[in-house]
Amino acid sequence: MRIALAVLRRDRRSQVATVLVALGVMIAVSLVLWLVAAPNGLQARADRTAWRDAVDQGSRISVDQTTDSFRDRLVERFDVARDEPGDVPVAAGLGRFPEAGEVLLSPALAELVRTTPPEKLGNRFPGKVIGELGQEALKYPGELVAVVGRTEVDGLRTAGLAGSGGSYRDDYHGMLYLLTRVGLVVLVVPCLVLVASAARLTAAKRERRLAALRLAGASPRQVIVMTAVETAVGAVVGSVLGVVLAQPFSHLTAEIPWEGGTWYPGDFVPSPAVVTAVAVLAPVLVIGAAIMGLRRVVSRPLAAEEQRRVRSWRLVSIAGALGVFFLGIVYAQQAGGDSQFTVVLLGLGAVAFALVLAGPVVTAWVGRFFVGRWRKPSTLLAGRRLAGDPVAAFRGSAGVVIAVFTGSMALTMLPGLESQVPYRDSTWREDAIVAQQVTTGLAPLRAATSAPVVPMLEGYVSNGAESGYSYYVVVGRCAEVATVLTGLDCRPGPAVYSHEKLREDQFRTTGPDEVRLTLPEQYEVREFDGAGRVQAVIDPEVLPSLAGRVSMVGVPTTAENREVVHTALIGTLPGVRLVDGEQRGLHGDTLMADLRRATVIGLSIAAVLGGIGAAVAAAGSVIDRRRTFGALIAAGTPIRVLSHALRREVVLPVFAVTVAACGAGIVVGLGLLTLARGLVGHGEMPLTPWVVAPVGVGVVVALVAALACGPVLRGISPRDYAAE
């Protein structure tokens, strides 16, 4: 221990290495704590909103949940009604159960109601506002939520609104759960690479020093203790600084929007047990890695400077890791519960580790290629280094390779995920609002708004059998329906508007009061170019027995009266479902913005970590070979040639291995997209040319990182060779 501390006090290069180890561990610990806190934040949201999950547990109250929108913001609405007398348990933040004629609003929604004319917003929530929802009942600050008490609600029956803990895995079919875990796995690997690069900064000189001590009589235990003490100083300090840095970092990340809003300050705080585990495990791993690197020094001190060879079996690990990954995909598609994605994530981590493990083999191949076919001095020097010590040469490239793997995987998944997001479809016109499940008269609605009201009746045309193909159709006057439905070109006279003649003739309505009848044998068919859900429009004169029946209402709007019409529909037609393309588009835009933001943040972190790791490893390779470079300079080798050689040492293996990493990222991205498609139930799997862009970015990052060699190399002179 005294020798190790003496080295740290007197050897400048060991001091620099210790500082870099501390910085690497600090970054890794703070980043890991941030990553493991992300699922905690989602879980905290789920716990606060568990009261919204209406499950049929009894017959005490009925709850009807709908999603509304106002000024490009989503509004969560809950209509509640008593089914029997008695106390109704409510969650923290709700205060008490709102009786008929009473309303609970979130603070942000209450403020909007106070500052907005009632015909645009307030009339949607009839009754007396008896209080505001507390933070304990809201997903995020500023969320718009209303709980409206009614006399009767046609919704799910539940025992109360108390909630007993939720699961964020239910959020959008578990897709966000999967993506947060994927980010955790793929970003931990660059952290480990950075720490390893810092820990190996002066590895060659340390091995020579420890080998000399072994030959002088030091026992293996003494050598191991010296290494552990020397490494522990920087690792422990870095771990402590990482824990301290994670606290303000968590509050900063709480300002990043997710699902339409930011976070409460305590959401991104990991549990004390997790903090303790990460803070202790990080130094232990660093010290363990340093000790594992002493195998040759302990057993064969005379062979401490021998070049290590790599075996081709490392390439087989990639195939094995991909096999584990796809077995996990199959398992996740068939299994359920908390362990559903465990095998997938293990396979994903195995693929990342296999790329790092196989990298030295490809590096050796690249080195031998350039040694055998190139004659330029700088490239020959780089090729000799790559072929002679591929493990050390590839070490700095590992982080960049993982960043490219992550980028290709993300760019493979994003277009496919975008096709699975529920955006506005092309059924109804953008300026129209359509109310479904209409069961009351339209006179109050006509009195509440001057906008034209289009009554419609929805149904299906089939052969009458329970199974088989059916057409989704709308019965309504063509001229009126055309103001809310896309692709409808009307002409005078009764007709059926469809892209083809209806092959079936049995019409039935939807809803509880089902009506069945047969279409007439002869009717005129006119072309209908609609690209949405509605496949045909039938004029009422074709089915005169349905006169007066209404199950759906459409209202064309303008920018000035849209909110007024929206409020009138909700206020005069209680219990209806609004088909609002704006609301559906808001949900899709929010989800895709979240995915893109998370992708940019994750890839930026991976690229920065990879670049820092490459820079540290490149600088360390110069420090480790200070004697070699001093001899070359003393022999007359220009600094410029050595600088070019060092840059090629970094860039050549990066280019070769990142091509393989890009291919692995595409394959893994398609696998994850298949799993996400199974969770959502639809979507495409497109590939774009952008999936190969990370290769170019990785080479540029590696080239920039290689510039760190310049200042270190310029500090070497022939005197260093004499000193060594």
Task: Return the pLDDT at 680.
Answer: 46
pLDDT beyond 70 at 544 = yes
243 or 285, which is more confident?
243
Contacts of 96 (CB under 8 A, 6+ apart): 90, 130, 131
Going 711 to 714 to 718 to 719, the CA torsion angle's sign is: negative
From residue 114, how far is each of 4, 132, 146, 591 by CA, in Å?
70, 13, 14, 29
Average pLDDT over residues 184-192: 75
369 or 680, which is more confident?
369
Lowest mean pLDDT among 75-79, 208-212, 404-408: 208-212
Distance between CA 238 and CA 216 in Å, rounded?
33
Strands 144-149 and 102-105: antiparallel
Average pLDDT over residues 504-522: 84
Query: Which range, 55-69, 412-426, 601-615, 656-670, is most confident?
Result: 656-670
Distance between CA 94 and CA 92 in Å, rounded?
6
Do 168 and 267 form a contact (C-beta atoms < 8 A)?
Answer: no
Give the strand order in the sheet containing 73-82: 128-132, 102-105, 144-149, 73-82, 61-70, 156-158
Task: Return the pLDDT at 454.
Answer: 94
Task: Return the pLDDT at 478.
Answer: 94
Do 195 and 24 form a contact (C-beta atoms < 8 A)?
Answer: yes
495 or 619, which is more confident?
495
Average pLDDT over residues 600-615: 82
Distance between CA 83 and CA 71 in Å, rounded?
35
Task: Return the pLDDT at 485.
Answer: 92
Q: Where are the domains of the chain?
A: 1-49+192-306, 52-165, 432-583
Query: Which range, 148-157, 418-427, 639-648, is most confident?
Result: 639-648
Do 407 and 550 form a contact (C-beta atoms < 8 A)?
Answer: no
Task: Return the pLDDT at 496.
Answer: 93
Task: Return the pLDDT at 107.
Answer: 94
| Residue closest to 408 by CA, chosen among 718, 692, 681 | 692
Lowest mean pLDDT among 307-321, 448-462, 537-551: 307-321
Task: Return the pLDDT at 310.
Answer: 78
Task: Return the pLDDT at 682.
Answer: 46
Cβ count near 597 (within 10 Å): 13
Strands 536-538 and 156-158: unpaired
Token couple for 655: 């280019």
Distance between CA 599 and CA 215 in Å, rounded?
52
Average pLDDT, the chain: 82
Confidence of residue 710 (pLDDT cuts 50, 70, 90): confident
Do 93 and 135 form a contact (C-beta atoms < 8 A)?
Answer: yes
Distance between CA 154 and CA 301 in Å, rounded?
81
Give DSSP secondary structure letters for 647-713.
HHHHHHHHHHHHHHHHHHHHHHHHHHHHHHHHHHS-------GGGGHHHHHHHHHHHHHHTTHHHHH
| Residue closest to 169 by CA, chosen among 267, 39, 274 | 39
Distance between CA 442 and CA 267 in Å, rounded?
46
CA atoms within 13 Å, Cβ hemisphere of 616: 31
Average pLDDT over residues 258-283: 86
Task: Return the pLDDT at 468.
Answer: 67
Distance between CA 191 and CA 26 in Å, rounded?
10
Distance between CA 355 and CA 663 in Å, rounded?
11
3 state SS for 319-371: HHHHHHHHHHHHHHHHCCCCCCCHHHHHHHHHHHHHHHHHHHHHHHHHHHHHH
Average pLDDT over residues 697-702: 84
Token couple for 458: 């929805």
* Residue corresponding to tokens 């952290």: 191
Average pLDDT over residues 385-409: 85
Cβ count near 50 (within 10 Å): 17
Distance between CA 598 and CA 19 in Å, rounded?
31
Lowest mean pLDDT among 39-43, 69-73, 595-599, 676-680: 676-680
pLDDT beyond 90 at 477 = yes
pLDDT beyond 70 at 116 = yes
Confidence of residue 530 (pLDDT cuts 50, 70, 90): confident
From residue 514, how far is each of 153, 440, 447, 498, 542 by CA, in Å?
21, 16, 29, 23, 19
Task: Return the pLDDT at 483.
Answer: 94
Task: Return the pLDDT at 173.
Answer: 44
Average pLDDT over residues 653-675: 86
Query: Which range, 2-16, 88-102, 442-456, 596-610, is most confident?
Result: 442-456
pLDDT beyond 60 at 663 = yes
Task: Return the pLDDT at 681.
Answer: 45
| Residue closest to 639 by CA, chosen among 586, 581, 709, 714 | 714
Considering only the C-alpha atoms of the chain, give the largest distance between any 2 of them, rounded to a whole number of Å.
Answer: 108
Task: Return the pLDDT at 463.
Answer: 80
Task: Return the pLDDT at 575.
Answer: 75
Task: Return the pLDDT at 92.
Answer: 86
pLDDT beyond 80 at 352 = yes
Average pLDDT over residues 370-380: 85
Confidence of residue 72 (pLDDT cuts 50, 70, 90): confident
Task: Return the pLDDT at 184.
Answer: 72
419 or 546, which is more confident?
546
What does the pLDDT look like over 140-162, one tens digit per residue? 999 999 999 888 777 666 666 77
pLDDT beyond 50 at 568 = yes
**φ, ψ dihedrals at 462, nearest 5°:** -145, -170
Task: Return the pLDDT at 538.
Answer: 93
What does the pLDDT look like over 312-323, one tens digit per residue? 888 889 989 999
Distance between CA 381 and CA 684 in Å, rounded?
48
* Residue corresponding to tokens 């109601």: 113
Task: Return the pLDDT at 132.
Answer: 92
Distance between CA 251 and CA 266 in Å, rounded?
8
Lowest mean pLDDT among 349-358, 393-402, 439-448, 615-624: 615-624
- How far separated are the first and last CA of the chain, in Å rounded? 25
pLDDT beyond 60 at 303 = no
Task: Return the pLDDT at 475.
Answer: 94
Confidence of residue 553 (pLDDT cuts 50, 70, 90): very high
Distance between CA 385 and CA 236 in Å, rounded?
33
Cβ count near 105 (within 10 Å): 23
Average pLDDT over residues 652-675: 86
Q: Each residue of 475-503: b (16+ CB within 10 Å) or e?
A: bbbbebbbbbbbbbebeeebbbbbeeebe
Task: Return the pLDDT at 338.
Answer: 57
Confidence of residue 582 (pLDDT cuts 50, 70, 90): low
pLDDT beyond 90 at 556 = yes
| Residue closest to 344 by CA, chosen among 330, 325, 317, 323 | 325
